[in-house]
Structure 1
Amino acid sequence: MKDLLMAWDYIPFEDTDATGGLRMTVVSGVPSPWGEAAKGILHLKGFDWSAVRLDPTNKDLVERFGSGSAPAVVYEEELPRSGWKDILLLAERLIPMPSLLPPNSDDRDLAFSLAHELCGEGGLGWSRRLWLTHLGLKGEGGFSEPVAQYLAQKYGYSEQAGAAARIRVIEILAMFAERLASQRAKGSDYIFDFGVTALDIYVATFAGLLQPLPDEVCAMRATTRAAFSEVDDETLETARELLGHRDLMYERWLEGVLRL
């Protein structure tokens, strides 16, 4: 474990094309699970890459990176990638080994299906944000009202969808908990027998939405930590397997101190 908290040495947007190589937009100061997953993939692959601070108000930046959200990646003069799957496939193409996908097609299909349950629309990240938005709009914790109002528009919030989000979160957690327990019974520490894959990274980073990493590992605003910590006992208990897997991944594979 490193002794000091670190921040990215962001390059100015104006320098992105001159810098070349791999450039990725990063949300400053917030451990976005999508962004942390992308960082983890690049870390395990051994990429040398440049961080660009996300600024959705900068129209030139949004046009260059193809998205007003993060992460979004540009490699050399290629078209930008902003989806979790596109970023993973780009990393696999540029540095094939070590591969973060299972070697056979059936398991690869399953890997993408499971990843969608974490990263995709209606998945764990999406539903957890809806849940915290719902709490914030009702004045019952969760995100602050300005953040909740912004995310409500982004995630198509309705009171019915917000109320259902907690149940969806628990369903997804239970599915992955069963998978992890089954793998451990077979003698595997990972989602697939093949070894560590992108799925293990996704589980590790998205688990932080249920219980943040300690401050010495991931410093964040007090309001962000309070929102991410807003969870009931049933949900937290269902998340235990994923939180244990999160700790294993940061101990063995991911950077010991998050750079935001």
Structure 2
Amino acid sequence: MSGQGSLWDIYGSRLSAATFTDLTHAFHPGQPKFPSFPDEQRNTVLDHSKGDSFQVHHYAFVGQWGTHVDPPVHFIDGGRTIDELPVSEMLLPLVILDISERVAADPDATPTLDDIAAWEGRNGRIPENCFVALRTGWWPRWPDIAKFQNKSADGVSHTPGWSKPVLEELIEHRGITAIGHEGIDTDPGLATSAGDGSLEYYVLSRDCWQIELLANLDKLPEAGALIVASWPKPKGGSGFPARAFAIHEAAS
């Protein structure tokens, strides 16, 4: 296994020279969150400053906290739980759909089928069993809650999100495994402000999973990268903070 052509050889010849980009926000109390969720509580159980020989924290937070994974069971009764997502789905080809320029002019912008057609015109067909991330330019607003929610005077949140035609095309006709985005929700703010989470329901109902609150998507190529997304394995878990990163060619 250590000879030429092994995974060790691929690591030595390609991956060791690649760029590794962290796509994860460090979570902490007081960060942006779904409005009805409680804030994180963190206590120091043991600490060097108290004369203890090691440091231990006690954490209390909802599963959907910070950059996190949503398995199908999050919305779908009987859907796959976190521990049922196989590790083979934690390393996937990464596709970036970039609508950040439109979002800069209109925070309510969502992707269109033309965005898929344009991406495929440049890169070829979106590969099956991949991870598609929506780049909106929203992640640098972290950790400012007001900027993340971007509410107008009437209390409506103006944030970008996915669109049903694009999700249907990706899931039904491209056979993707998972999606991700920089915002708190799959659905745009105009929908979530009205209590509409139908796009997230749709994604999870198709046995796909997702990563929310991704960071640094602007540092990645739109094609050719890999994403590694991992998380703890709570039995029957419906969501948990995740650590996600991309592996891609170094910038020339």
- Same fold flag (TM > 0.5): no
Q: Which has the higher helix share?
A: 1
TM-score normalised to the size of structure 2? Answer: 0.28
Q: Which has the higher strand share?
A: 2
Structure having the higher Rg: 2
TM-score normalised to the size of structure 1? Answer: 0.28
* Higher RCO (Cα < 8 Å, 6 or more apart): 2
